Amino acid sequence: MQETVELTPRAADMVAAFADHLRLERGRSPHTVRAYTGDLTHLFAHLARVGEAEPDDVTLADLRTWLANQHAAGADRATLQRRAAGVRAFFAWAARTGRLPSDPARALRSPRVDRRLPPTVEVDQARRALDGLAARVEEAGGEEDGAARRRDLAIVEVLYASGIRVSELVGLDTGDLDTQRGLLRVMGKGGKQRTVPLGAPALRAVDAWLAVRPRLARAGAGRAMFVGDRGLRIDARVVRRLVHRALGAVPDAPDLGPHGLRHAMATHLLEGGADLRSVQELLGHSSLATTQLYTHVSGDRLRRAYQQAHPRA
């Protein structure tokens, strides 16, 4: 069992101050703050074991050795890339704010990550999943059961229509929907706001849900657009289970959660002729390179179609 090493007071104070910076100044999500501070705690605990526990003592070689040790222990590339990014952000902040005289992580490079998309949902599979939820609405008996089923249909329609993240969906308020224009105001990563359109089926589903929302919502729900069975703002874990269940009802569909619907929305838009910049804006990607990943999926399908259909493929 690995020995637990406590951080020095200076290292602990700097990590705590960096967490405040991420949360208050950069608007990072609680998940990101926990991940970055956890990685920094891991780094300084490692340095304490080798006799260099203070942030002032850290060198580029120390950081490279730390990452190399994790790679040797089996950490995957995505984890190493996140940890390298967190360390670079921390030391750049520390140098910029005068907490350290220089930035030892400036030349730290991340391991290259194989950028692969998970299996995505086909257009017909998404349609059948939504049709299945709509059929459950028609079969609903009691008032509460009917309201919950309308909510479930609206959630999946919105996720597939807009491609928003599950964290963005659970944060929606009723005032974020402009029914007349068919637009949804979304608060994304880093506190960045964007507007995404909703198609007619999603708008109808949301309108039908909001009409019965008072049957489930309690006073503590405030203006939350979607509430859970207990009447409060719905939890992301509930939404994930709902999407898995909806897709699981389609025999040949992959077992995916909300992020799978986000991938599907982007892929289907590109295959339908949407330009990459528009998809980037809809998804809220800060970098076009992230959105370009979806073009590989479309390209693979075009290549397969070509090979199957062209006489000289």
Q: 235-262: per-residue pLDDT in tens?
A: 999 999 999 999 999 998 888 899 889 8
Q: 15-30: per-residue pLDDT in tens?
A: 999 999 998 888 888 8
DSSP secondary structure letters along 148-187? HHHHHHHHHHHHHHH---HHHHHT-BGGGEETTTTEEEEE
Domains, in order of start, for the chain = 9-96 (1.10.150), 123-261 (1.10.443.10)
What pLDDT, on a 0 to 100 scale, did the predictor assign at position 115?
Answer: 57
Counting as low any pLDDT under 70, the low residues of the chain are 1-5, 52-53, 111-118, 141-144, 286-313
What pLDDT, on a 0 to 100 scale, did the predictor assign at position 81?
Answer: 85
Q: In DSSP terms, which residues pair with 185 in a beta bridge?
A: 195
What pLDDT, on a 0 to 100 scale, did the predictor assign at position 75?
Answer: 81
Residue 111 carries which DSSP code?
P
Closest CA to 169 of 158, 161, 157, 153: 158
3-state secondary structure of 22: helix
What pLDDT, on a 0 to 100 scale, did the predictor assign at position 15?
Answer: 92
Residue 256 carries which DSSP code?
-
What pLDDT, on a 0 to 100 scale, did the predictor assign at position 295?
Answer: 61
What pLDDT, on a 0 to 100 scale, did the predictor assign at position 2?
Answer: 44
Query: How many C-alpha atoms does 9 have within 13 Å on its Cβ side?
Result: 0
Return the structure tokens found at 283.
């998804």
What distance in Å separates the CA atoms of residue 241 and residue 75, rounded to the nearest whole number?
28
Which residues have a catalytic role annotated?
165, 189, 259, 262, 285, 294
**Dihedral over Cα of 299, 305, 309, 312: its sign:** positive
What is the layout of strands, in order, in the sheet containing 177-178?
Answer: 177-178, 183-187, 193-197
Q: In DSSP terms, which residues pair with 233 in a beta bridge?
A: 227
Phi and psi at 113, nearest 5°, equal -110, 135
Residue 311 carries which DSSP code?
T
What distance in Å separates the CA atoms of residue 89 and residue 105, rounded to the nearest whole number?
9
Return the structure tokens found at 236.
């992301």
